[in-house]
Amino acid sequence: MEIKQSALLVNRLNGELSPEFNQQIALQNLELYGTIFHDKTITKLDAKGEALINIPANTPAVKAVSQLVDKLTI
């Protein structure tokens, strides 16, 4: 299998990426593909043992993942 593209996805982000983190991304020659911010809805569902497939479509994490999927070039 040939890897045609690699990129960085930051998950469970609280706040903005630090300048130091962005510097490391550049030093490693990585493409920042996207970010998914920490979503309390997921934390609550997970703590209850509920399936994450039940996450409402209007939550920040689901919206972010949807946007990332739209960007994919597979």
What is the structure's pLDDT at 73? 63
Domain assignment present for 1: no
Rounded to whole angstroms, the Cα distance separating 16 from 18 reads 6
What is the structure's pLDDT at 9? 92
What is the structure's pLDDT at 52? 79
Degrees (nearest 5) of the Cα angle 63, 24, 34? Answer: 10
Range of the domain at 18: 8-71
Domain assignment present for 20: yes
Domain assignment present for 2: no
How much is the mean pLDDT over the chain?
A: 89
Question: In the predicted model, is pLDDT for residue 74 greater than 70?
Answer: no
Higher pLDDT residue, 51 or 18?
18
Domain count, the chain: 1
Question: In the predicted model, is pLDDT for residue 72 greater than 90?
Answer: no
Domain assignment present for 29: yes
